[in-house]
Amino acid sequence: MAMASSLFISTPFPSKPISKQIPFSFPSSNPLIRSFTHKPSRNLVVSSSAAATNAIEAETQTSNSATTPAKSLSFRVGHGFDLHRLEPGYPLIIGGINIPHDRGCEAHSDGDVLLHCVVDAILGALGLPDIGQIFPDTDPKWKGAPSSVFMEEAVRLMHEAGYELGNLDATLILQRPKVSPHKEAIRANLCKLLGADPSVVNLKAKTHEKVDSLGENRSIAAHTVVLLMKK
In the bound state with Zn ion, the residue whose beta carbon lies nearer, of 51 and 214, is: 214
* Least spacing, CB of residue 109 vs Zn ion, in Å: 7
Q: Which positions from 79 through 108 interact with Zn ion, judged by CB under 5 A?
A: 82
Among 116, 134, 172, 217, binds Zn ion (CB under 5 A): 116
* Least spacing, CB of residue 82 vs Zn ion, in Å: 4
Q: Burial code of 25-53, b = ≥16 C-beta within 10 A, e = fewer? A: ebeebbbbbbbbbbbeebebbbebebbee
89 alpha-carbon distance from chain centroid: 25
CA distance 53 to 12: 23
In the bound state with Zn ion, the residue whose beta carbon lies nearer, of 110 and 160, is: 110
* Least spacing, CB of residue 150 vs Zn ion, in Å: 9
- How many residues bind Zn ion (CB under 5 A)? The answer is 2
Quick check: 110 binds Zn ion (CB under 5 A)? Answer: no
Pick the piece of the chain touching Zn ion (CB under 5 A) from 63-71, 74-82, 134-142, 223-231: 74-82
Quick check: 223 binds Zn ion (CB under 5 A)? Answer: no
Among candidates 157, 131, 165, 199, which has minimal Cα distance to 15?
Answer: 157
Give the dihedral of Cα atoms 120, 59, 141, 219; nearest 10 deg. Answer: 40
Contacts to Zn ion by CB under 5 A: 82, 116
